[in-house]
């Protein structure tokens, strides 16, 4: 049995509630050793992982890891939110009673870390000193060293964050036990994995994975699911949002845009975007966050404020290259300390590669291993077309490595939000951008965000589904209550953000090409939105919002066919009428959906009938 007190004393971990929590779970999991970590331990832990072969070296002081081949994405089916109030059950949160969930997980975790080290990671999901700091402290226990290295990049890690809490007992208790990955029955009827956020106990228990979204508990489980629940009870919003600033050098003004796009649908790309060359003299984009934002009403200014609770980026590798996202490449260059997961790796040259990194894969196959560790040169005919990297392969790097990081990204006061945008992968119907000026219609738009699912979750790629506010996989409570909470939080602001719906993914039904070039050009749509909010352009009023006219959208230096432009700046009324029927079914599933949302729905439906 480990002498827990001795380890905690030596680490200077004094918070008695944390000590009690660590002692309890050390007993359950049966770990052989306990180690308290801080960000300063990073170099030593990396060396230990290299020595143990858990990490492989990448040229330039970077790192490579491979996760078990059945463990490469979030598992939505195995993820639950548990509370002791059945009224918290929603359509998407996989609600379970707290007591039985804790009992099941305690049983699965019993003795499951035997022979391993249990790392104690005290962390903070917030810039220190923020108004929401009371909800940001947590302690993750994990039996995986690579999880520690990732957490050190993704959150602020050190004992001081939990020793000096205003309320010493108020921290998220997060336990991660990897389990015996080859014997968990992933995807079968006897799947042993279970990922639970016991929201009303502020406890997170995840068993059976070492992949990011399932294992970095500060990020998705705390930063999103738990924050969403805490926000409901404490007047803030925890959302899967990117957060960026647009600086207009000519006027000296700065605008902040928060945006919810489903997983692997462009948040990282947009928040790191470079202005198109022709607009670069006047505008630039500043990065605040690419995956999570917490939003609240700031009484002093009457505005909605936001910050990014994370400390790093866990970005999709696929298609990241000099043209699509030079900022991301910059953030993972030599010296950044970045960690790659499940991309292709060359064991001789220690290089990495993923689909879309370059137009063609490297010609010389010598030394290249695919994401499963199999030699590419040995592939038989049938396997040649298979990707080298997993489609959900990722890179992990700290915010400070992002070249367009905003100077005030760490400011605990956050930044005022001028616009909230929603968007997903939608091959038809959704125009490039439609602005929405009414709060209820904006919230209604978020609730009815429909998109094609991606490889960020197991087994659902390409499927069309509704994804409220892009939070479907992270929903903590019922959708009707969630809508009410959104109306209440944003409704408090006297100076409210404008809403908009964007779509970079409309396709030509004939040959499937994207009608809008996307990436850097997406800034053009956001600039129009800012101008519209400022009253500088009027747009075309349609039943589903205001769309830019072709003259208003700045298309200088850009190539797009007239046919594509026409398609993305118009509304297909018949297709939208059909959509209204689907939305009605979708919204009808939700208990206690506010009347304001139904009114918004009926207003849009009636306007379409008249169109």
Max Cα separation, the chain? Answer: 74
Confirm or reject binding of residue 290 to Mn ion (CB under 5 A).
Answer: no
Structure tokens at 250: 């000519």
CB nearer Mn ion, residue 38 or residue 214 = 214
We find the least distance from the C-beta atom of residue 281 to ligand GTP, in angstroms, to be 22
- Residue of closest CB approach to ligand SPV: 213
Instruction: Give SS3 for 24.
Output: helix
Pick the piece of the chain touching ligand SPV (CB under 6 A) from 212-220, 407-415, 428-436, 442-450.
212-220
Structure tokens at 194: 């279970």
Q: Residues binding Mn ion: what is the number (CB under 5 A)?
A: 2
Site string for ligand SPV, 453-492 (x = CB under 6 A): ---x------------------------------------
Confirm or reject binding of residue 173 to ligand GTP (CB under 6 A).
Answer: no
- Give the chain's length: 611
We find the least distance from the C-beta atom of residue 387 to ligand SPV, in angstroms, to be 18
Pick the piece of the chain touching ligand SPV (CB under 6 A) from 213-221, 372-380, 445-453, 573-581.
213-221
Judged by CB under 6 A, the residue of 41, 230, 286, 291 near ligand SPV is: 291
Q: Where are the alpha helices (DSSP H) in 448-561?
A: 479-491, 522-533
We find the least distance from the C-beta atom of residue 120 to ligand SPV, in angstroms, to be 21
Task: Starting at the earlier edge strand, list the strands of the sheet with 62-65.
Answer: 56-58, 62-65, 339-341, 394-398, 312-316
Q: β-strand 137-142 against 117-124: which pairing, if any?
A: antiparallel
Pick the piece of the chain touching ligand GTP (CB under 6 A) from 87-95, 166-174, 266-274, 485-493.
266-274
We find the least distance from the C-beta atom of residue 346 to Mn ion, in angstroms, to be 29
**H or E, element range at 84:** none
CB nearer ligand GTP, residue 68 or residue 514 = 514
Say how far apart CA 184 and CA 198 lie, in whole Å.
22
Q: Residue 203: name its binding partner from Mn ion, ligand SPV, ligand GTP, none (Cβ under 5 to 8 Å by kind).
A: none
Long-range contacts of 179-186 (CB under 8 A, 24+ apart): 179/108, 179/112, 179/207, 179/208, 179/209, 180/112, 181/68, 181/70, 181/71, 181/208, 181/209, 181/210, 182/68, 184/70, 184/208, 186/70, 186/71, 186/75
Non-local (6+) Cβ contacts of 366 within 8 A are 348, 377
Confirm or reject binding of residue 220 to ligand SPV (CB under 6 A).
Answer: yes
CB nearer ligand GTP, residue 265 or residue 331 = 265
Say how far apart CA 583 and CA 449 lie, in whole Å.
10
Confirm or reject binding of residue 263 to ligand SPV (CB under 6 A).
Answer: yes
Q: What is the binding site for Mn ion (CB under 5 A)?
A: 263, 291
Q: What is the binding site for ligand GTP (CB under 6 A)?
A: 261, 263-269, 290-291, 315-316, 318-319, 324, 456, 504-505, 514, 518-519, 522
Q: What is the binding site for ligand SPV (CB under 6 A)?
A: 74, 212-213, 219-220, 263, 291, 314, 456
């Amino acid at each position: 049995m480990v002498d827990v007190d001795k380890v905690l004393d030596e680490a200077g971990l004094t918070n008695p509630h944390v000590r009690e929590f660590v002692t309890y779970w050390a007993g359950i999991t049966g770990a052989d050793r306990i180690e308290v970590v801080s960000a300063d331990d990073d170099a030593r832990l990396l060396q230990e992982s290299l020595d143990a072969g858990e990490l492989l070296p990448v040229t330039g002081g970077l790192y490579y890891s491979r996760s078990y081949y059945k463990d490469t994405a979030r598992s939505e089916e195995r993820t639950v939110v548990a509370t002791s109030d059945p009224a918290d059950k929603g359509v998407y949160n996989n609600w379970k009673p707290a007591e039985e969930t804790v009992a099941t997980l305690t049983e699965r975790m019993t003795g499951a870390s035997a022979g391993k080290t249990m790392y104690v990671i005290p962390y903070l999901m917030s810039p220190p000193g923020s108004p929401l700091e009371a909800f940001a402290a947590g302690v993750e226990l994990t039996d995986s060293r690579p999880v520690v290295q990732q957490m050190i990049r993704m959150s602020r890690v050190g004992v001081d964050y939990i020793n000096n809490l205003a309320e010493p007992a108020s921290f998220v208790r997060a336990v991660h036990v990897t389990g015996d990955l080859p014997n968990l029955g992933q995807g079968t009827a006897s799947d042993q994995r279970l990922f639970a956020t016991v929201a009303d106990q502020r406890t997170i228990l995840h068993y059976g994975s070492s992949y990011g979204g399932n294992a970095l508990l500060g990020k998705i489980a705390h930063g999103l699911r738990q924050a969403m629940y805490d926000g409901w009870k404490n007047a803030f919003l925890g959302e899967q949002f990117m957060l960026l600033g647009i600086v207009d050098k000519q006027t000296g003004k700065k605008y902040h845009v928060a945006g919810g796009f489903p997983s692997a649908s462009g948040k990282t790309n947009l928040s790191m975007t470079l202005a198109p060359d022709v607009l670069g003299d006047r505008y630039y984009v500043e990065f605040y966050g690419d995956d999570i934002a917490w939003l609240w009403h700031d009484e002093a200014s009457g505005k909605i404020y936001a910050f990014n609770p994370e400390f790093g980026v866990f970005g999709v590798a696929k298609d990241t290259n000099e043209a699509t996202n030079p900022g991301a490449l910059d953030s993972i260059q030599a010296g950044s300390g970045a960690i790659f997961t499940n991309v292709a790796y060359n064991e001789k040259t220690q290089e990495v590669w993923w689909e879309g990194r370059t137009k063609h894969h490297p010609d010389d196959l010598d030394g290249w291993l695919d994401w499963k560790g199999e030699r590419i040169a040995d592939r038989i005919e049938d396997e040649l077309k298979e990707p080298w990297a997993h489609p959900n392969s990722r890179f992990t790097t700290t915010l400070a490595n992002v070249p367009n990081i905003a100077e005030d990204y760490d400011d605990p006061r956050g930044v005022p939000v001028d616009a909230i945008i929603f968007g997903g992968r939608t091959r038809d119907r959704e125009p490039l951008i439609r602005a929405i000026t009414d709060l209820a219609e904006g919230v209604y738009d978020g609730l009815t965000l429909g998109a094609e699912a991606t490889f960020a979750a197991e087994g659902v790629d390409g499927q069309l589904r509704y994804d409220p506010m892009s939070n479907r996989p992270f929903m903590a409570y019922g959708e009707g209550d969630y809508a009410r909470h959104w109306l209440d939080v944003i409704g408090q602001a006297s100076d409210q953000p404008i809403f908009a719906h964007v779509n970079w993914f409309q396709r030509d039904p004939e040959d499937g090409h994207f009608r809008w070039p996307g990436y850097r050009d997406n800034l053009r749509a956001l600039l129009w939105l800012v101008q519209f909010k400022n009253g500088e352009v009027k747009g075309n009023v349609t039943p589903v919002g205001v769309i830019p006219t072709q003259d208003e959208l700045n298309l200088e230096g850009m190539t797009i066919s007239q046919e594509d432009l026409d398609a993305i700046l118009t509304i297909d009324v018949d297709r939208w009428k059909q959509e209204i029927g689907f939305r009605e079914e979708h919204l009808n599933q939700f208990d206690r959906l506010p009347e304001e949302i139904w009114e918004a729905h009926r207003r849009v439906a009636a306007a379409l009938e008249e169109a």
